[in-house]
Chains A and B, each alone.
Chain A
Amino acid sequence: MGIEGVGARVARKEDKRFITGAGRYVDDMVVPGMKHAAFVRSPHAHAQIKKIDVKKAQAMPGVIGVLTGKELKADGIGNLICGWMIHSKDGSPMKMGAWSPLAVDKVRYVGDAVVVVVAETKGQARDAAEAVEITYKELKAVVEATKALEKGAPQIHAEAENNLIFDWEIGDAKATDAAIKAAAHVTRMKIVNNRLVPNAMEPRAALGHYDKAEDHYTCWTTSQNPHVARLVMSAFYNVAPENKLRVIAPDVGGGFGSKIYIYPEEIVCLWASKKTGVPVKWVADRTESFLSDAHGRDHVSTVEMAFDKNNRITGLKVDTIANLGAYMSLFSSCVPTYLYATLLSGQYDIPAIHANVRTVYTNTAPVDAYRGAGRPEATYLLERTMEAAARELGVSPAELRRKNFITSFPHQTPVIMNYDAGDYGASLDAAMKASDYAGFAKRKAAAAKKGLLRGIGMSCYIEACGIAPSAAVGSLGAGVGLWESAEVRVNAVGTIEVLTGSHSHGQGHETTFAQLVNQRFGVPIDSVSIVHGDTDKVQMGMGTYGSRSGAVGMSAISKALDKVEAKAKKIAAHLLEADEGDIVIENGALKVAGTDKNVPWFQVALAAYTAHNLPAGMEPGLKETAFYDPSNFTFPAGCYICEVEIEPETGTTEIVQFVAADDFGNIINPMIVEGQVHGGIAQGIGQALLEGAHYDASGQLLTASYMDYTMPRAGDLPSFKVSTSNTPCPGNPLGIKGCGEAGAIGSPPAVINAITDAIGIADIAMPASPPTVWAAIRAAKH
């Protein structure tokens, strides 16, 4: 490993612009003639639109246009769609209701966009938006998925009877029922996974610019996947053909899933730009983000876990109801199915599993993937159940888990996944050691002397990253392929541009991807530029989500580097009059192995472009493209241990220790990987202790600002003890598994297991806020 190569803790190249205020986010973009948009949103959770009167608004100062859904439809703009087809167990396709970018006849959640106002200034747009008069006929609303399924519940979409989108199953029901019947012990739980709001710190934004002369659109947008945005807006929303639409995702301030989807606002800004003849910018304020960003989680499940007399798991039966909100967001259907139920085997050898999942419309914001997407829900369900089972069986939680670990690979689970590599015992051992698990009883006694309740909880998670291969996901209903592309362009002076279809919105690609190139050619990372986020520069790509940029994105780069290396070696062999097979790359030069004959990297590059002396028949230039489609998911796994102290008089929980032991396979930059884990854990602790999106019964979002929705702050969290072990992933050339979501997946059950241990109760709802904990302590006493 060189100082800038694979495995080195290299400080990030991209930091300079962010720490000096020179980052360029969508809201920082200004184009000549640019005007501002404000959306009029529904104040009702469920209502018919009776009349829209825009006259007063049109007459307001600075107003350029006030546009409605009727005009949008008349111009042929399509409805938003969910891009993953799921069939119910009776074979019928999912029941997708229409989602117009601007509501026409009906609104279905508070925040549903109805009218857009374009004005000279943002303030004028907002003033005029307030002057738009919409007459609604309010309808009864329903916000909880379980209630939406009840007879007589309000019908949200005509297409989905009883609000049921699909009723899907996976696994072997008969075998699972038999296992439960024959069990020596069955642990039964009701598990609620609370609804969250992703809350990337940069609010969503879009700037649409229609160029009349060229009949061409440009969209600057806060996207994790600009190419997917272009594809979807072209193919499905009829905004413009792909060659007439450029999508740019510049610096993007965090995503966590919420910026995967194509939302109404970017479609409307592009359309409105053509309609009004001016570039149109919209930036969400935080309350708009709370109302209209796709939310995450919101599952209600029951689980039965069967054990034989030796405490080995023999079966797992799960029934889940997932709230998808008022409309089906782009990937909403795959989250509670193929990203959730396929992970229900966890780290355990379970012979029989069956899961039934019903997805449901409610009068709430659309729900889609949020950091972890389905895997946190699966992990929470399993690891809470394991903990409960250990307590019921009177055995150590660690040993119950260890006894049931999968220990040989590859391992085929009963729910599709084929785990390729792992060492779950190693992570468990590392976490127990780092947390001084053995010394816990002493610490608990010491805390008790201070009047504090101390508890410990663990969680052994597995997740699946780099969702793939394309043919397999296609057969499961995905509307897209899940490969990644890369282009490596070596300039005539030897500097390198790497074009990638991945997108960095905090992950540090500009550094790690450059490290990969440094490792291969010895070129300093300052001489390597990573180009991403612009459909005019990068031909095609699938973007960044599901912890795929390392395992899939970098594998594509690696493949392109292979091709560049092969050509460079041919050129060097020709120049050095040596055999191609004898050429090695060392310290920035191509050498004849075992001799001092060499040609520096930049001279090979120059030779490729001068083309004065190339091998016969070789094309000039040094630039290669690769597409990489993985053969399988990757399977990061690990063990998290959380220790809490609870102040019984106030119900305040302090996390006194948090240990993470992860197996991410090979690692390019440990500093960046640790940062990903820290951030994920903070979000997981946020879910467990602080965060929850709450709608009242009428469908008003009560937690629509940072005054109401409790974001984790520095004082809520400890410093984390993180470590990694490594079983390289055999499925990709770099042995990488992915690290972006693990923290958020593994941590919530560890926290809740610790709290329930401290109080001595079976369960507590997330978020375990002080009032909830306080009440639980009181209830436990009585």
Chain B
Amino acid sequence: MSDVSLMVNGKRVSGAAEDRTLLVHFLRENLGLTGTHVGCDTSQCGACVVHVDGKAVKSCTMLAVQASGSSVVTIEGLANGADLHPVQAAFKEHHGLQCGFCTPGMIMTATDMINRHPEGLDEATVRAELEGNICRCTGYHNIVKAILAASKTMAKGTKGKAKQAA
């Protein structure tokens, strides 16, 4: 057993975990954050994507002890209070989800993707960068649409803030 201590969704959490405990299991079982899902056992499906220190990470690929000392954001911590994050809002508006199982991972991946591409995104890039996330319901059509739309919304938001700052 090891002690694990990290920031999750802005709160400091700690607990004991078996050495073999994966971050995803620590989040789900120790912290009750069940929004992060497990859809495979080979780090292929991406249902477990969270942000670790600002980067999208498959939480099934990381041990809980490895994440000790990090700051983790899960799907539960993405929205700003009652306001949906623009990516969440876009997934709803563009019907980018059906059964909802892959959705948390998709949204966390998409948010990271948009953050990494301040210059904007095109369809080919979105499709290529979704390589690590599998959806069986939507055929990706509306997921791609939602990510492109959110990318535009977030770019506007950034410009707005830049203007305010100026």
Contact = CB atoms under 8 A, between A and B. Distances in A.
B48 to A, nearest CB: 11
B142 A201 contact: no
A516 to B, nearest CB: 18
B103 A18 contact: yes
Nearest to A199: B136
Contacts of B20: 123
Interface string A472-484: 0000000000000
Contact of B39 (A19, A28, A202): A202
A282 to B, nearest CB: 14
Contacts of A20: 35, 75-76, 78-79, 84, 88
Interface in B120-152: 123, 126-128, 130-131, 133-145
A678 B75 CA distance: 25
A715 interface: yes
B69 interface: no
Contacts of A441: none
Interface string B18-62: 101000000010001111111111101101000000000000000
B95 A11 contact: yes
Given A11-B92, A705-B42, A715-B128, A253 B75 contact: no
Contacts of B78: 20
Interface string A9-45: 0011011111111111101101000000000000000
B64 interface: no
A508 B107 CA distance: 19
Contacts of A672: 95
Interface residues of B, number: 56
A327 interface: no
Nearest to A198: B136
Contacts of B98: 254, 506-508, 675, 679
B100 interface: yes
Contact of B141 (A11, A28, A719): A719
A460 B99 CA distance: 29
A563 interface: no
Contact of B99 (A505, A674, A713): A505
A714 B36 CA distance: 21
B33 A21 contact: yes
Q: Is the interface of B mostly helix, strand, loop or mixed?
A: loop
A711 interface: yes
A19 B37 contact: no
Nearest to B123: A719
Contacts of A681: 139
A679 B137 CA distance: 5
Contacts of A254: 98-99, 101, 136-137
A131 interface: no
A371 to B, nearest CB: 10
Quick one: which of B28, B41, B74, B98 has the most chain A CB within 10 A?
B98
A203 B95 CA distance: 23
B139 A713 contact: no
A14 B33 CA distance: 19
A562 interface: no
A505 B100 CA distance: 9
A719 B144 contact: yes
Contacts of B145: 719
Given A19-B103, A253-B99, A287-B41, A506 B35 contact: no
Contact of A706 (B42, B102, B126, B135): B42
Given A19-B92, A21-B104, A285-B41, A201 B35 contact: no
A286 interface: yes
A479 B69 CA distance: 58
Given A18-B100, A21-B33, A25-B101, A717 B39 contact: no
A27 B47 CA distance: 14
B95 A12 contact: yes
Given A201-B102, A675-B138, A706 B92 contact: no
Contact of B42 (A12, A283, A707, A720): A707
Nearest to B40: A286
B21 to A, nearest CB: 8
B131 A714 contact: yes
B52 to A, nearest CB: 16
A256 interface: yes
Contacts of A679: 98, 136-139
B86 to A, nearest CB: 11
Interface in A712-762: 712-715, 717, 719-720, 743
A64 B44 CA distance: 33
Contact of B127 (A12, A671, A715): A715
Contacts of B131: 713-715
A22 B35 contact: yes
B35 A21 contact: yes
A498 interface: no
B97 interface: yes
A682 interface: yes
B45 to A, nearest CB: 6
Contacts of A683: 136, 139
Nearest to A505: B99
Contacts of B128: 714-715
A506 B45 contact: no
A719 B147 CA distance: 14
B93 interface: yes
A447 interface: no
B97 to A, nearest CB: 6
21 contacts: A19-B84, A19-B88, A19-B92, A20-B76, A20-B84, A25-B101, A201-B134, A202-B99, A253-B37, A286-B40, A287-B41, A675-B98, A675-B137, A678-B138, A678-B140, A679-B98, A705-B42, A715-B127, A715-B128, A717-B139, A719-B141
Given A24-B34, A201-B135, 9 more contacts: A19-B97, A20-B84, A21-B36, A203-B38, A507-B98, A508-B98, A675-B142, A682-B141, A715-B128
Interface of B: 18, 20, 28, 32-42, 44-45, 47, 74-76, 78-79, 84, 88, 91-93, 95, 97-104, 107, 123, 126-128, 130-131, 133-145
Which 4 A-B pairs have CB atoms at the shortest separation, nearest pair first? A21-B35, A253-B101, A18-B100, A682-B139
